A = this chain, B = another copy of it.
Amino acid sequence: MKSRTLLTAVLLSSAVLCGLTALLAAPPNAGAPEPNLPSWNEGASKQAIMEFVGKVTRQEGPDYVPPAKRIAAFDNDGTLWAEQPLSAHLVFALDRVKALSPQHPEWTTTEPFASVLKGDIEGALAGGEPAISQIVTATRAETTTGEFEHAVRDWMATAKHPKTGRLYSEMVYQPMLELLAYLRANEFKTFIVSGGGIDFMRVFSERVYGIPSEQVIGSRGKLKFELKDGKPALVKLADLNFIDDKNGKPVGIQTHIECRPIAAFGNSDDDIQMLQRATTGSGARLGVIVRHTDAEREWAYDVTSSIGKLDAGLDHAQMSGWTVVDMEKDWKVIFLFEKR
């Protein structure tokens, strides 16, 4: 590298982060190209997505975006996979309470753990966010990152969804897998930006979604570096370090990649800020809300749901021209196992 060239580059550069090697780093061949989104019905949603991708990839067009800046951000629960009746991360934590209870005799008499151990999940969760936070925290604390990874992997390989009896890795939306592959075939880099635990999702994001761990952004607890039997280990602590939800989503994106997405996909009011941030830049932008309208194949819920509440998000979608995907009408198939 010539220093003078370098210097010129530094002096002349305009506000371009995300830059050059990110371009080279884009995985154009990750996932099989799915040019036609086969599980999507023809209609306004599919059309909006394909038109947007056409615009930003047309090299001579006014909306062309170089591959380095083709960043797409996806919420996870309710956007890429089912979140009903409880989010997978919460079910995992509830199962961990049972698995860890021999080491915590005090849990048999302390709420919300006592209810969990009696199988009264509704009672355990009656305490709302604080109770959930207590459960997630207690089942994470003092675990090394390696131990936690193994616990998640074992759970994903065995735990069954209470309604479908399927593994959680089968509860992913087939049209969204196709969309991820379609975007990557068009040299987008796909990110998960979820309120869920970052260490939980990273265990399976690659295998399930084709999204490598470093492209997963989520909530995280504090970690402590320590020597265990002379070997360095990272131990999870009870304290939270960052909540990647609502206002936190654009913050999480900034912290991890500093690139502003040009497309964002969510399903609830918790995704509004991420979509605002993605869709208010200059040039072509895409905001998509996945709306749960299919009570038969999945679930139907929106304004009154305690999980995945979608209310203000619908107003924002109308004001800002976001695409609202109607799961019942827009998707030929939701889960791949329906087809068998």
Contacts and interface: CB of A to CB of B under 8 A. Distances in A.
Interface of A: 1-3, 6-7, 9-11, 13, 15, 17-22, 24-27, 29-32, 68, 145-146, 149-150, 153, 156-157, 167, 169-170, 177, 181, 198-199, 202-204, 206-208, 210-214, 220, 223-225, 227, 231-232, 234, 241-242, 247-248, 250-251, 254-259, 273, 276-277, 280, 336-337
A15 to B, nearest CB: 6
B223 A251 contact: yes
B250 A232 contact: yes
Contacts of A225: 247-248, 250-251, 273, 277
A280 B27 CA distance: 30
Quick one: which of A15, A32, A146, A251 has the most chain B CB within 10 A?
A251
A13 B153 contact: yes
A17 B276 contact: no
B19 A212 contact: yes
A96 to B, nearest CB: 18
Contact of A149 (B17, B20, B22, B32): B17
Given A223-B254, A255-B223, A207 B13 contact: yes
A157 B181 CA distance: 40
Nearest to A24: B27
Contacts of A227: 276
A189 B234 CA distance: 22
B1 A206 contact: no
